[in-house]
A and B are shown apart, each in its own frame.
Chain A
Amino acid sequence: MSGTLTNHIFLQFVTGLQLGAIYALIALGLTLVFGTLGLVNFAHGALFMLGAYLAVVIAAKFGFIAAIVGVPIILFIVGLILEKGLIRFFYQRPHTDQILVTFGLAIVVQETLKWIFGANNLPFSLPSWGVGIIKMHEWVPFLEGFVVYPKWRIILIGVSMTTVAALFVLLQFTRFGLIVRAGMRDAEMLRFLGIDINKRFAIVFGLGAMIAGIAGVFGGPVTQVDPEIGMNMLVPSFLVVVIGGMGSLPGAVLASFLLGLALSFTAEYSAIQQIIVYVIAVVVLLVRPRGLMGQKGLMEE
């Protein structure tokens, strides 16, 4: 812990943003699928894991750029196939069935990857342009002395924020977004208007999977790539989604960074750090059972 207090706080803050960036990337896909399709996807962590494993394989064979382009596309297609072949039959079934079938799917994906790649974690080598450090003191005026941060983690923050912004624009300012948002309010009415809402639902699920893929490519080098990672990331992501208010994209982003910062600022007190996330979740839900920015009436039976 070298440097002044300002430097210290600044570094904790950046670390918090970086942690929040991973949570945001994973929670974004979760909450998108939940908010628009009303589906709780326990397999989302497994999709993230699939993205990370694919990224390792593709990056080793064809280079990192190929992984950045390829993995989200592959995951999008995987998402489309899953929706068409499995998920769509569960919109009408009870929520418990949705949780169960996606939980089963998570196990199948996890165990398949374990079978192919073994139980140990895979080494993820960063591309040459992502290795190294950024000299923060050259960019931020109030820092004193020598303050550095890994380059890749800064890239991760950037990617996460860009994805958030892109998704927001897509949903808020395009015709596609309008239809999807209308579909989540009243799918029946859209069918009367002659809009093929089912096709859009499939695309939304594909998008959710694609974001999990982006999280896998950029988050994988930070989190580790092992068969446990899917479930390990799923639990905090769910908490993020619940704290933010289920189905709310801004809520999920807000909650991600809230949790990320809480984790990084308690890092020195590991006893507190281990439970801080749950403490926040409980407090938020006691005060606001619907979450920070949850909409009224959404999925409340």
Chain B
Amino acid sequence: MMNKTYPSFWRANAPVAYFAVIVLTMPFWFPLIGGYPGLDTKILIWAIFAIGFDILLGYMGYLSFGHAAFFGISAYTTGLMLLHYSSEIVPAMLMSVVVTTVAALIIGMLTLRRSGIYFSILTLAFGEMFYSSAVSTLQSWTGGDNGLTGLPTPTLFGSVIKDTDVFYLTAFFAIVAYFTARRIASSPFGLMLRAIKSNQDRLEFTGINVQRYKISGFVVSAIFAAFAGSLMVIYEPYVATEFLHWSTSGKIVIMSVIGGVGTLFGPMIGAAFMLYFENVISVALHEQWLLVLGLIFMAIVIFLPGGFVDGARRVHRKIMGRSAPSGPPAEKGEA
């Protein structure tokens, strides 16, 4: 991987092009495998969320259990903007990103003082704080347990957007998100995040302000969540309290791990798998779908820490008959 010849723009971004083709043709092939209209949009929204989460977990090595905070804060901001300001989505989305960024800065500065498990638990606590504030303290703003209802149908430059419009809008953001995340991952900044994952102390000794990079990584990750949260409200003009609940944080963790952290593409596959599982396969499993998913999740953590992507790589390697050591394993952070 260390050859100095840089690939051309088109070769470097070929995966984005493939991704774009898959995404943009989704409305045609997705119903064939049992997906109902709208589920494709939802998958892409969660995929955007998952890409951002992967920057934090897969690249930086920080497992947040409170990422729903950013998804939910953004969703509420979008909802409130649509309700009180205008049904135009552009100002609503911009405001959501700004508010989420500020929240992420504050939470990041507080939680990133600690690493590892402390970080996970602190983010969980912050997530719960926002959830319980939304259902009680801020009730008059957030609608409490009922969530934000009665939102107007969103508009873009004056024209109402719904159904397929929302799908293509989301697809656009998903493609941009994937492209951006790939650029971040291959940038010096991305390298810095990976260095944080492998050995923070060593990085600190070289005179680099690690804390600043950690907060930046955290905020970048939250901004992806912000776009996802905002799109969720545009997709369905309603803000559920569930968006802030820990189960939403848990969901994004499950998706990322099932798909394969540290690969950007993996968490998106995980998002697609989980939503497909929740909405299509669950019909056969009745109420027990989450139990089955929990078992799948555990099996992957135990036997295949690299997720589906790592599994596919292993199978590929087997078929090609090549011997093992090529390619970095996805989740072995110890240096």
Contacts and interface: CB of A to CB of B under 8 A. Distances in A.
Given A238-B124, A271-B136, A299-B116, A99 B63 contact: yes
B301 A100 contact: yes
Interface string B271-310: 0000000000000000110110111011001100100000
A103 B253 contact: yes
Contacts of A281: 122, 125
Interface string B119-161: 0111011101100110111000000000000000000000000
Given A235-B124, A242-B122, A299-B117, A108 B301 contact: no
Given A108-B294, A111-B288, A274-B136, A96 B63 contact: yes
Interface in A88-139: 89, 93-97, 99-101, 103-105, 107-108, 111-112, 114-115
Contacts of A95: 116-117
A235 B125 contact: yes
Interface in A263-300: 270-272, 274-275, 278, 281-282, 285-286, 289, 299-300
A103 B137 contact: no
B288 A99 contact: no
Given A95-B117, A238-B121, A299-B116, A108 B298 contact: yes
B187 interface: no
Contacts of B288: 111, 115
Contact of A97 (B135, B295, B305): B305
Contacts of A300: 116
B128 A235 contact: yes
A39 B114 CA distance: 17
Contact of A231 (B114, B122, B246): B246
B313 interface: no
Contact of A40 (B120, B133, B137): B120
Contacts of B85: none
Contacts of A253: none
B328 to A, nearest CB: 15
A111 B116 contact: no
A272 B137 CA distance: 7
A252 to B, nearest CB: 13
Given A40-B120, A108-B295, A271-B136, 12 more contacts: A86-B302, A94-B333, A96-B331, A99-B120, A100-B257, A101-B302, A114-B287, A231-B246, A238-B124, A239-B125, A281-B122, A300-B116
Interface of A: 40, 86, 89, 93-97, 99-101, 103-105, 107-108, 111-112, 114-115, 231, 235, 238-239, 241-242, 246, 270-272, 274-275, 278, 281-282, 285-286, 289, 299-301
